[in-house]
Amino acid sequence: MTGAERPRPTTPDGGDRLRVGLTGGIASGKTTVANLFAELGADIVDSDVIARELVVPGQPALKHIVEAFGEAVLDPDGGLDRAAMRRLVFAESEARERLESILHPAIGAEMMRRAAAATGPYTMLVVPLLVEARMTALVHRVLVVDCPEDVQIARILARDGGDRGDAERILAAQIGRRARLAHADDVIVNDGDRASLSVAVGRQHAVYCSMAQDRRKGGSPAPHCRKRPAE
C-alpha cells in the first residue's frame, strides 16, 4: 500500500483539522524532528508519552496488563516495569501481541481525544509503530523520518552501548525500512547535521500549513503557522 492508497480517516475527532502521522525506525531522529515541528507551531501528540501515562498505578490499562502477565511485570512502586516487559515481549511474539492488544486501542483513543482538543495549524501524531499498529487510517498524511541503517546502528551504539549484533537485532525486530517507506506520503531524511534537518522540517511545515489552510472552510489561514528563521 502507498500513502496515496491509504483510506481516509474515519474516526470523528476535530472536523477538518489536518492530522499528520510522524513515524520512523529506532534512532532515526523522530523526537528531534517532532521538537522542530513544535517550535514552528504544530501541535504534537506523542504516543510514547501517552503509553507511559497509561501504565502508572490506578490506570485501567495497567490492570489489564497485570491480568494478562502477572505481577512480575510491576515495579516496586506498583507501576509497569518497562524493562521487564520489554524483555518479555522481545522474547515472545505472542506476549508482544497480547500487550499491543491492550495498549494500542487505549493509546489510539487518547491520541484522538488530544487531537480533537488541539488548537494549532495542524496536529502531528508521533507514533513509532504507526504502520505496525495499523494506525495510518487515523491520519491524513504519513511522514517518515528516514536514514540509512548504518546510521541507525551507529546512533544506537552511541546512545545505548552494547555491540553491533545487539543493535542489528533491535532493527530486525522492527518493520523493514522499505516497508515503512511504502506507507509514506512525505519523507524527511535525517542523515546530516541539525541545521540541514531544520531546513527540511521548515520546508515540510510550510507544505502542511498550506494543506491545513486548504482544509479550513473558505481556505482561511491556519492559525500559528510560523516560518523558521533563516539559518
The DSSP-derived string for 32-54 is HHHHHHHHTT-EEEEHHHHHHHT
Give the integer Cα–Cα distance in Å for 45 and 110: 9
Q: Which three cell numbers stand for residue 37?
A: 515541528
Give the integer Cα–Cα distance in Å for 46 and 33: 12
114 lies in some domain: yes
Q: What is the pTM of this model?
A: 0.84
Residues 30-86: tens digit of each pLDDT = 999 999 999 999 999 999 999 999 999 999 999 999 999 999 999 999 999 998 998
Give the integer Cα–Cα distance in Å for 71 and 23: 32
Say what percent of the chain tops pLDDT 90.
Answer: 70
Give the integer Cα–Cα distance in Å for 144 and 161: 26
- Residue 128: give the domain boundaries: 1-42+120-231
pLDDT at 6: 54
Q: Averaged over 26-33, what is the pLDDT?
A: 95
Q: Considering 68, 90, 119, which residue would you say is the last residue of a domain?
A: 119
Helix, strand, or coil (residue 7) = coil
CA 205 remoteness from chain centre: 17
Give the integer Cα–Cα distance in Å for 179 and 2: 10
Instruction: Return the closest-CA partner of residue 215 out of 110, 183, 142, 223.
Output: 223
Is 231 found in the same domain as 172? yes
135 lies in some domain: yes
Residues 112-146: tens digit of each pLDDT = 999 999 999 999 999 999 998 889 999 999 999 99
pLDDT bucket at 177, cuts 50 / 70 / 90: very high
pLDDT at 174: 87
pLDDT averaged over the chain?
88
Give the integer Cα–Cα distance in Å for 35 and 39: 6
Element containing residue 165 per DSSP (H, E) = helix 164-172
Question: What is the CA angle 42-180-16, rounded to 5?
Answer: 35
Is 106 found in the same domain as 4? no
Provide the number of structural domains found in the chain: 2
Instruction: Return the closest-CA partner of residue 138 out of 129, 146, 150, 147.
Output: 129
Residues recorded for the chain:
231
Is 61 found in the same domain as 30? no
pLDDT bucket at 7, cuts 50 / 70 / 90: low
Q: What are phi and psi of 28, to 5 degrees?
A: -85, -20
Is 31 found in the same domain as 57? no
Is 129 found in the same domain as 100? no
Q: Is the pLDDT of residue 223 over 80?
A: no
Q: Which three cell numbers stand for residue 20?
A: 499528520
Give the integer Cα–Cα distance in Å for 147 and 194: 14
pLDDT at 126: 98
Instruction: Return the closest-CA partner of residue 126 out of 2, 206, 216, 32.
Output: 32
151 lies in some domain: yes
Is 7 found in the same domain as 22? yes
Is 177 found in the same domain as 192? yes
CA 131 remoteness from chain centre: 10
Describe the strand order of the beta sheet including 186-189 as a list of residue ranges: 43-46, 123-126, 19-24, 141-146, 186-189
47 lies in some domain: no
